[in-house]
Structure 1
Amino acid sequence: MAHLHPEAVVLGVRQFGPDTPARSQIGNRLTSALFRAASHQKLRDTQTGLRAFSIYMLPWLVDIAGERYEYEMNMLFACGRAHIPLVQTPVHAVYLDARNSTSHFCTVRDSVRIAKTFLKFSISSLTGFAADYLAFLILIRLTAALPYHVLISNVAARVLSAALNYQMNRMLVFEGRKKASETLLPYAALALGILVGNSILLMLFTNTLGIPAAAAKPLTEVLLFLISLSVQSLVIFRSKKGEGPHV
């Protein structure tokens, strides 16, 4: 299969069935869901160690950060950013016992490593949300006498938190993959789109559904979280075409 796709990374995808240990099935489903949410790519087995690739990819592969299972997940993300196809081919897996005792996978430690990018984005988003929510609660009291004070407070709080969130995502989550001059305007466009959607949802929840503003705000943020993650990962901070290996 690999010789038919020299430009791709070929993944040996395990076929999960009744004999597959529960922790293998649960762990793989979780990481596959996280990978799909962050990259919009559907892989049936993100934890497979059976991977084939061209020798010309080696210099690029050794520069990918991480160790063990973290490296395996980072490799998949890196392929997506560098526009390298991921080809899936089914393989038969043999487990010696129901607990898969020969596996070196540590459920807690390695799950955290695998989900590191998603976790870093979550931390960044939670920090931005905390700043946004705190500013919103303060401003909504200060502007209570003004018409549309909920909308005004939401816009001002979003502008403040967006600046903080941009810097954290650029340097912490996506590790400075692109210069600020390349990402600032696209991020500003995303922030504006999120702000419009955020404000519409917030006004719908408060004015139409009668949900208190303090409760409607976090509900709105949760609904827009994955949209923001996907756009930043796939578009704004995505590596330029041609930054991957030359096959």
Structure 2
Amino acid sequence: MTVLIPSYEPDARLIGLIHQLIEVDTPHIVIVDDGSGDDYRSIFATAKQLGCTVLTHEHNMGKGRALKTGFQYIKKLGRRDGVICADSDGQHLPADIMRIADAVDKLPHHIVLGSRQFTGEVPLRSRFGNTATRKIYKFTTGSAIHDTQTGLRGFSNDMLDWLCSIPGDRFEYEMNMLLKARSAGYRLKEIPIETVYLEENKSSHFRPLADSIAVYLPILKFSGASLLSAAIDYGMLLLIHLLTTNLLLAVVGARVCSSLVNYTMNRRFVFTDEGQSQVRRSMPKYFALVLLILTLNYGLMYGLNEVAHIPLLISKLITEGVLFLFSYWTQRKFVYHETTNKKPADC
């Protein structure tokens, strides 16, 4: 296996981790010095003496960029074994790293996540951050992941092209990876690991405000596209109905406008790295679903507004509530379902 360790201003725990890995296995270890500076050269020199490959950024570029530098290097080597990413601060035990490596060998086309269980004494900021991100991720995607922020992740070698194509240079890169995995044809598998926090996690370089915004930005964009489309749908429905008093025309016109905006927003701002082949696969299914939902939407709206004489806005709210779960389930199951077709990309 290859162990990839992005590292910024490490301490002796990095050397300790290397010794422990060598004791349990003979992995190929690649370390990316993310602009740590002269004060840390001795640590990286020791890592080289222990047989590690050390790649260096002249300036700090962020964890995401460090990971992609490592992926690019491993890809050029032409190795065919799995790649395990681990942090340099002692949070990931060698036994857990080996368990992730074993899972990668058995689960092709999976991102294997070392899932911390957050038992015992966990720093408040770490517990709160992970809980918030987990709930927001589930609300946005409909998928439950226990540990969305884990740095212990495993990948099969054929995923390197895709990993290099994911946007993001800092901590948001790892969230983007989770958000884009399904559309790229990869599944997520969590393997429970030990939760290790040393010195209240003081060694973490996570910036609570700036990096939290960056991590949540992909989720906010994903949710924002849906909210904007919903607002357009409501606004166009009321406007067209006011001008024409024709319910069918209002429902169809509003849904056409909102669906075009939603699909375009997702393609351009949320899932910006999808290739043309992905568009060709998803677009017909997406608009076939739009047509089905449109038919159901009009039927319910007609029954509520025209037959039961319920005000238009209230009828719209009831209709959207009834169809929401069906629409969401259908999109996850048929429109953006997992596929093994992947488009290579350069780092």
TM interval, short-chain normalised: 0.7 to 0.9
Measured against aligned partners, the alpha-carbon deviations of 1:51-102 in whole angstroms (never above 9, x if no partner) come to 233455434322221122211112223433333343322222233466x544
- Corresponding residue for residue 185 of structure 1: 284
1:112 and 2:209 matched = no
Aligned with 2:112 (options 1, 6, 10): 10
User: Closer, same or farther in 2 for the Cα pair 1:164/1:64, shift >3 Å?
Assistant: closer
Unaligned residue ranges in structure 1 (runs of 5+):
none
Q: CA deviation at 1:226?
A: 6.8
- Is the counterpart of residue 168 in structure 1 residue 265 in structure 2? yes
SS of aligned partner of 2:269: helix
Q: Unpaired runs of 5+ in structure 2?
A: 1-98
Amino acid paired to 2:104: H
SS in 2 for 1:190: helix
| TM-superposed deviation, 1:175 | 1.9
Q: Secondary structure at the match of 1:242?
A: coil
Code of the aligned partner of 1:118: I
Q: Where in structure 2 are the equivalents of 1:56-71 lying within 5 Å? A: 56-71=158-173
Shift of 1:224: 5.3
Contact 1:11 1:48 in 2 (8 A): yes
| Residues 151 and 89 (structure 1), Cα distance of their counterparts in 2 relative to 1, 3 Å cut | same
Tell whether the 8 Å contact from 1:84 to 1:244 is kept in structure 2 after alignment.
Answer: no
Matches for 1:128-143 after TM superposition, within 5 Å: 128-143=229-244
- Assess if the C-alpha contact under 8 Å between 2:180 and 2:271 holds in 1: no
Aligned to 1:79: 181
Counterparts of 2:309 and 2:203, CA distance in 1? 55
Q: Is the 8 A contact 1:12 1:48 kept in 2?
A: yes
Distance 1:233 1:175, change over 3 A: farther
Q: Secondary structure at the match of 1:114?
A: helix
> Is the Cα contact below 8 Å between 2:133 and 2:148 reproduced in 1?
yes
Greater per-residue strand proportion: 2
Quick check: 2:104–2:154 contact (8 Å CA) kept in 1? no
Cα gap change, 1:176 to 1:79, in 2 (>3 Å): closer
Q: Aligned residue for 2:146? A: 44
**SS at the partner of 2:115?**
strand
Q: Describe the SS at the equivalent of 1:5.
A: helix
Contact 1:15-1:93 within 8 A present in 2 as well:
yes
The verdict on how the C-alpha distance between 1:31 and 1:227 changes in structure 2, with shifts beyond 3 A counting, is farther
The aligned counterpart of 2:45 is none
Matches within 5 A, 1:225-244: 232=331, 235-236=334-335, 240-243=339-342
Q: Deviations over 1:17-48 (max 9, x none)?
A: 35223332332233223433454443210100
TM-score, normalisation: structure 1: 0.75
Give the percent of matched residue pairs that are identical in Structure 1 and Structure 2: 38
- Cα deviation for residue 188 of structure 1 reads 1.4
In structure 2, relative to structure 1, the CA distance for the partners of 1:111 and 1:229 (3 Å cut) is farther
- Between 1:223-232 and 1:49-58, the stretch displaced more is 223-232
Q: Which amino acid aligns with 1:27?
A: G
Q: Is the 8 A contact 2:187 2:338 kept in 1?
A: no
Q: Which moved more, 1:166-175 or 1:236-245?
A: 236-245
Secondary structure at the aligned position of 1:10 is classed as: strand
What secondary structure, in the 3-state scheme, does the structure 2 residue paired with 1:115 have?
Answer: helix
- Does the Cα contact within 8 Å between 2:116 and 2:192 map onto a contact in 1? yes
How many angstroms does 1:204 deviate by?
6.2
Greater relative contact order, per chain length (Cα 8 Å cut-off, separation 6+): 1
1:214 equivalenced with 2:316 (yes/no): no
* Contact 1:150/1:213, CA 8 A, preserved across alignment: no
> Is the CA contact (8 Å cut-off) linking 1:37 and 1:230 kept in structure 2?
no
RMSD: 3.4
SS in structure 2 of the partner of residue 86 of structure 1:
strand
